[in-house]
Structure 1
Amino acid sequence: MNRRAQILKVLTAGAILLAAALVPQAAGAAGSSGAAGSSGSAGATATARARVAADVLMGSYEPNKAWFPSSWWNSAVALQTIGDYMQRTGDRRYLGQLDNTFEKDKGKFPAGYLSGDELLGNFTSRAIDDSEWWGLTWIQAYDLTRNRKYLDMAVTIAEYVEGYWDPSSCGGGVWWDGERTYKNAVTNGLWIRLTAELHNRLPGDKRWLGRAQEGWNWFTGSGMINSAGLVNDGLKSNCESNGDTVWSYNQGLAIGAGLELWRATRNPQLLTTVRRLADAAIAPGGLVTDGVLTEACDAPGRTCDDNGKQFKGIFMRYWMDLADTTHERRYTDFVAQQAATIWDNNHDAADRLGVRWSGATPNVFDWRTQASALSALIAAVPQTPPVRSLSATTDPALPVVMPATGSTTHVKVNVGVQATAPVGDVIQAVVKATAPSGWTVTPSRTTVTLRTRGNAVPVEKTVQLDVTIPAGTPDGLHSVTASVTSGSQLSFTTRSDILVAHTADFDTGTAAETPWLWDADGSQSNGVQNRFADGHSYFVYRFPFPSDTTSASVSLTIDNQFVVQVSGDGQNWTTVATETTPYHDGENKAVRTFDLTPYLGTAKAGYVRISDSFPDDGWGGRVYHVTATYN
């Protein structure tokens, strides 16, 4: 079973039982109707793409701490996005992970365990906006399951946030932090959406409706919405708009807040304001470049930090709501355009989605960028998801081959075929494989039979391809493509990009690193020449040296609190270097070379693992550049 399949098989019995007990979503909840696509092949393809991307995202979920390492509010948004995916498509495989997070992380935790801040219990902290993100996540879980504990938690969070509404400063508004230093758009957009969602789910409520209306009136009168209809970041100490960057998530939250309050009141003026906000976002000078949603930090020469990586996805969550609510062509067309752009230009063979949706380089891929772009793919799924869908993935998607001189090389590529259809249906899927001229793929055509179980749990079968690479193949990426079809409505294409290389020499945090990164675990990259592993995380590079290799070594430009281990099989490790001084600022940065020869074994593969020598400190091994040589 391949690694992706293993992730999909880790499903709790509780998740499947919950799926059987689901009831339709409450009126007015986000994702209740479709933005783009149709019930035919376009809708099936949109569903399949969202499923593939969601599975990649959940591959980064860490079940022990029950989050996505190592960001607290980002984890809330990623889980909410998975909730949106399940709600939109009917796929219920990840209910168990939502509940795992709820049960494991609802307590109190010291600073640094799950967040930079101390967690006060019930998903609250001094970061008021972080608390609100979790409130929205648990409302989403309630919409999926009708389990009242999730809604009750959202109420508890809202009651905590309510204590930071302060009319003595700027006439109102929720403070951004426990120290009461800043009033901004994100905290108050979240507040309005959270309280309006609570009202729309609590029969007879007046309290939260009053809070939502009060929040909206204050926010729209605060000056943060500028004359162009764009939302600036916050207020200065004199209560005037600071004119700071128009981030897409602030714009999206303002749209989402107005929509949810409109559902509560049916006040037409709210929709007028929402349309003004939306039209400003897509107008010249707004948030779109050449038709693609673009963050300020996506501009050439700039880099989005871990927060900014998720902003566009939040915008698309509430744009989906806008398209669902109004059904206006300019809004639904925008959804379709973002989804198509992401899949065509910002999607690699491993089904990862990057931060720059246009595909511009340099691009960054991690679970935050995956969650963000996934929201656009979810928005493209039709109002009523198609009963039948078909998708495919490859594993390995980015293999490396370092061929021996004058020899052919063989690579095994698994094609995983997934399908949904009414319970008991049989789908016959034809798998056709193609490869570069002179290469051989066996089998080049085969048929798999899948007996389906409805939308809640897609079924999967795997086809193994034997790829023969001829001697003398030039270095570079070479694609093996698999197309999967069933009838005239269902089709999907996947590929494996095989890197043929005689040298390994790359910067971390770049596309050139990816084929060599055998196991990223919980490591992170904040840009070019930057990969690090804090706490109990690690990352592993694999070098499949030629079969005639007699000696090999690896050189790492590395610093901070590192442990370096080497292996010949990726399972049994030998420690070859440990930093015993708790460096924090890269003072020990140097090129260090390690002999891999004693560890190669018969397979001639070398594995190098980097981890943290002070796991409680948060400054684990950081690698900038990697070079592997052999004879």
Structure 2
Amino acid sequence: MTMLRRIRLVLLSLVVLVGLQPVVAVQAAPPPQNSASAGATEVARARVATEVLLDSYDEEKAWFPSSWWNSAVALQTIGDYMKRTGDRSYVDELDHSFETNKGPFPAGERSTDEIYGNFTSRAIDDAGWWALNWVTAYDLTGDQKYLDMAGTIADFMHGFWDPSTCGGGIWWNEERTYKNAVTNGQWVRLTAELHNRIPGDTAWLERSQEAWDWYVGSGMINAEGLVNDGLTDDCASNGDTVWSYNQGLAIGAPLELWRATGDPELLAAAQRLADAALESDELVTDGVLTESCDPLGRTCDDNQKQFKGIFMRYFTELADTTGAPRYEEFVDRQAETIWANDRDSSERLGLRWTGASSEASPNVFDWRTQASALSALIADVPQETPRRSLSATMSPTQLVMMPSPGVESSVRTEVQVAATSPGRRPVRVDVRASGPDGWTVDPVRDRVVLDPAGDSTPARTSVPLDVSVPPDTEDGSYPVTVTVTARPGLSYTTRATIQVASAIDFDAGSTQELAWLWDAGGSGLSHVGSRFADGTSHFVYKFPFPAEATSAEATLTIDNQYVVDVGPDGESWTTVLAEDEQIRDSSNKADHTLDLTPYLGPDNAVYLRMTDAFTEDGWGGGVYHVSARFGTS
């Protein structure tokens, strides 16, 4: 820890002690040596991880594929990034999601449940996540429509507050079958947030205080200070799994209520719950936040993938408020562990923050795990946002080539550079690229100038790179690395992976798939191991067969309601396979072999697209495995 950081922590502690408003914490160790660039690396990491998350955003449906409440949490995470960094690049996405999804939807369109409108459904906690997201959008923009929507959702939720059972509490679902920690943690937090943003309010504050008193007395917080999942029919704690998101909401709820009332016992309660989490082997393993489904040999479902990020959102607020070193150190450790161990060659962030993986139990990477781990990177950004920052990404990050024997091959990628600077000062960036021994990257060095607007939204530019691969290079994955530097003391390294392949054989969702996935198109990954496209989404694989190929075929393992199109250029399509029944249970899962020869393009590439045969019911086709081969005459 640097002396600068120690001084700031001491000052933060003194400010809290003299009773001023909550203050913010400074950035994670290890900080850069140059104070002019302090925190810039943390901003760059969060920016890059946010960009990767947005790659999965479905522009047409204005959500993240196939998951209603998870989309709300991911959108709020993007809002958290913008609040923390000052970068307002994605305000339009939040508004687009609001306007596109505020109406009603039939069951299967956005959720397995019917969406009634105003982001409400039979799942009361789903509505709660959307309400919390729209409060964040209001904080970012000041647009009253977001706060009004949060209030509308809260009015809906209030209809499920029921003192006749267990003395109070919000029901988890419309059928009133369960009172649990997540819905009631949301309720305390949301009602306090509304009070703190509505001048002259008393009603929401009264509801928040009543709900907190009930929550504390419900028995869901056990003797160790950990939050069990909910209550039995007899209104006792069910002793069920301690999930990190329940613990996080239990920290965030009294913290927001403390902001409303100034009651020191509420801040103390948030700290007790946070300390219980840090001391518990149910939530923390070797200093790293760990869900009970994380260890090797276990599997987290799509919901559980996002729990840790929710914990970090509210834990971060407590760290900011108190400046307590133990909280700061925990935040630091999560971010550094993720960046060092839980990041693949495409800058995706995985489920297990330690990076633990095995052949039988591989680490999982998707947009849900990305959003969750991103919350830890956001936490590591100082709230006093650095005025200078520099980042870079490669596009695409995964490339594939099928070279001809004895011939040099080439591919093109580009490095995208982003920078911020105060006072509209231009940023002069040095770009240096390198590849494996014997490979040629052109240009190996370049210089670009960016002209930021003087705020925290970065200016961007790109540099194309041509990569030449020597003849007879063996099959494998090869890195191309780019380092960008700028004064004072700014530096960032990014990478792309070029996969040299003589054959095509991959599972959907695997690291190998990324090189062949030309357009994700709003598709998603299922828990049973398929990439699927439902509604208006799609995905496209590109097979760049070598010049000597005169014939080709592909075999796909597919199920449900699929349409398979093939074309020579990624623009014109011919349907070669389609399911004509509305199958939803994978009962038609089978291998199908397709002749690709008629579709070999002018560059000998073939594009294969999957879409949904019945776009209205949300059960589009899924691909599990793909193999392809070619012949020469």
Short-chain TM bin: over 0.9
Counterpart of 1:178 in structure 2 is 174
Once the two structures are TM-superposed, the CA of residue 337 in structure 1 deviates from its matched residue by: 1.2
Say whether residues 1:138 and 2:134 are aligned partners: yes
**1:303, CA displacement in angstroms?**
2.0
The one-letter amino acid of 1:604's match is N
For 1:234, the aligned partner's letter is G
Q: Which amino acid aligns with 2:554?
A: V
Partner of 1:93: 89
Match of 2:335 among 339, 355, 361: 339
1:537: which partner in 2? 537
* Farther off after superposition, 59-68 or 362-371: 59-68
SS in 1 for 2:398: coil
- State the match for 1:523 in structure 2: 523
TM-score (norm 1): 0.92
CA apart distance, 1:528: 6.3
Judge which range, 185-194 or 537-546, deviates more: 537-546
| Mapped partners of 2:408, 2:512: distance in 1 | 24
1:245 and 1:549 map into 2 onto residues whose CA distance is 56
In structure 1, the residue matched to 2:28 is 36
- The 2-side partners of 1:629 and 1:201 are apart by 61
Aligned-partner residue type, residue 200 of structure 2: G
CA–CA distance in structure 2, aligned partners of residues 150 and 602 of structure 1 = 50
Q: Which residue of 1 aligns with 2:565?
A: 565
For residues 139 and 112 of structure 1, what CA distance do their matches in structure 2 show? 27
2:201: which partner in 1? Answer: 205
Secondary structure in structure 1 of the residue aligned to 2:348 = coil
Q: Would the aligned equivalents of 2:36 and 2:488 in 1 still touch at CA under 8 Å?
A: no
RMSD (Å), alpha carbons: 1.8
The answer to whether 1:483 aligns with 2:475 is no
Mapped partners of 2:434, 2:463: distance in 1: 14
Structure 1 counterpart of 2:166, one-letter code: C
Q: Which residue of 1 aligns with 2:15?
A: none
Check whether the contact 2:85–2:383 (CA below 8 A) recurs between aligned residues: no
Match of 1:220 in 2: 216
Q: Secondary structure at the match of 1:258?
A: helix
Q: Is the 8 A contact 2:506 2:627 kept in 1?
A: yes
Residue 110 of structure 1 deviates from its aligned partner by 2.5
The aligned runs of 1:178-577 (5 Å cut-off) are: 178-361=174-357, 362-527=362-527, 529-577=529-577
Deviation at 1:504, TM superposition (A): 1.2
Aligned partner of 2:74 in structure 1 is 78
Distance 2:66 2:601 in 1: 35
Alpha-carbon distance in structure 1 between the residues aligned to 2:586 and 2:115: 29
Amino acid at match of 1:598: P
The 8 Å contact of residues 354 and 369 in structure 1, kept in 2 or not, is answered as yes
Superimposed CA distance per residue, residues 183-236 of structure 1 (whole angstroms, 9 cap, x where no aligned partner):
000000000000111111122222111111111111111111112211111111
Q: State the 1:389 CA deviation.
A: 0.4
Q: Which amino acid aligns with 1:485?
A: T
Distance 2:502 2:158 in 1: 61
Q: Which amino acid aligns with 2:276?
A: A
Residue 302 of structure 1: SS of its match in structure 2?
coil
The answer to which of 345-354 and 417-426 deviates more is 345-354
User: What residue number does 2:148 align with?
Assistant: 152
CA contact (8 A) 1:509 1:528 kept: no
Q: Which amino acid aligns with 2:393?
A: T
Q: TM-score, normalised by structure 2?
A: 0.92
Q: 1:575 is paired with a residue of what secondary structure?
A: strand
CA distance in structure 1 between the partners assigned to 2:620 and 2:533 by the alignment = 5
Say if 2:627 is the partner of 1:614.
no
How many angstroms does 1:456 deviate by? Answer: 4.3
Distance in 2 between the 1:585 and 1:64 partners?
Answer: 26
Taking a change above 3 Å as real, the CA distance of residues 124 and 589 of structure 1, as seen in their structure-2 partners, is closer
Q: Secondary structure at the match of 1:92?
A: coil
| Paired residue secondary structure (2:170) | coil
Displacement after TM superposition at 1:371 (Å) = 1.3
Tell me the amino acid that sits aligned with residue 454 of structure 1. Answer: G
Take 1:483 and 1:108, find their aligned partners in 2: how far apart are those partners? 48
The answer to whether the 8 A contact 1:398-1:496 is kept is yes
What secondary structure sits across from 2:312 in the alignment? helix
Deviation per CA, 1:238-281, whole angstroms, max 9, x where unpaired? 11111111111101000111211111222222222222211221
Aligned-partner SS, 2:343: coil
User: Which residue of structure 2 aligns with residue 69 of structure 1?
Assistant: 65
Higher deviation after alignment, 400-409 or 182-191? 400-409
Range with greater deviation from structure 2 (294-303 or 621-630): 294-303
* Contact 2:254 2:266 survives alignment (8 Å): yes
Q: Residue 179 of structure 1 aligns to a residue in which SS?
A: coil
Distance in 1 between the 2:233 and 2:439 partners?
Answer: 67
Shift of residue 40, structure 1, vs aligned partner: 4.5
Please give the secondary structure, in 2, of the residue aligned with 1:399: strand
CA distance, structure 2, for counterparts of residue 100 and residue 466 of structure 1: 36
Structure 2 alignment gaps of length 5 or more: 1-19
Structure 1 565/72 Cα, relative in aligned 2: closer, same or farther at 3 Å?
same
Secondary structure at the aligned position of 1:298 is classed as coil
Report the count of equivalent residues.
604
Stretch of structure 1 that moved more, 223-232 or 113-122 = 113-122
Q: Percent identity of the aligned residues?
A: 61
Q: Is the 8 A contact 1:190 1:253 kept in 2?
A: yes
| Contact 2:38-2:386 at 8 Å conserved across structures | no
Shift of 1:61: 2.2
3-state SS, counterpart of residue 293 of structure 2: helix
Query: 1:512, CA displacement in angstroms?
Result: 2.2
Distance 2:244 2:280 in 1: 15
Is the 1:600–1:606 contact (alpha carbons within 8 Å) kept by the matching residues of 2? yes
Contact between 1:529 and 1:625, CA under 8 Å: does it hold in 2? no
Deviation at 1:519, TM superposition (A): 1.4
For 2:155 and 2:459, the matched residues in 1 are separated by: 42
Unaligned ranges ≥5, structure 1: 1-26
Deviations 1:369-393 (A, max 9, x none): 2211111111111011101100001
| Displacement after TM superposition at 1:488 (Å) | 4.2
**Which residue of structure 1 aligns with residue 119 of structure 2?**
123
Matched residues in 2 for 1:250 and 1:469: separation? 51
Structure 1: how far apart are the matches of 2:473 and 2:528? 29
**8 Å contact from structure 2 (residues 395, 415) kept in 1:** yes
Alpha carbons 1:35, 1:320 under 8 Å: kept? no
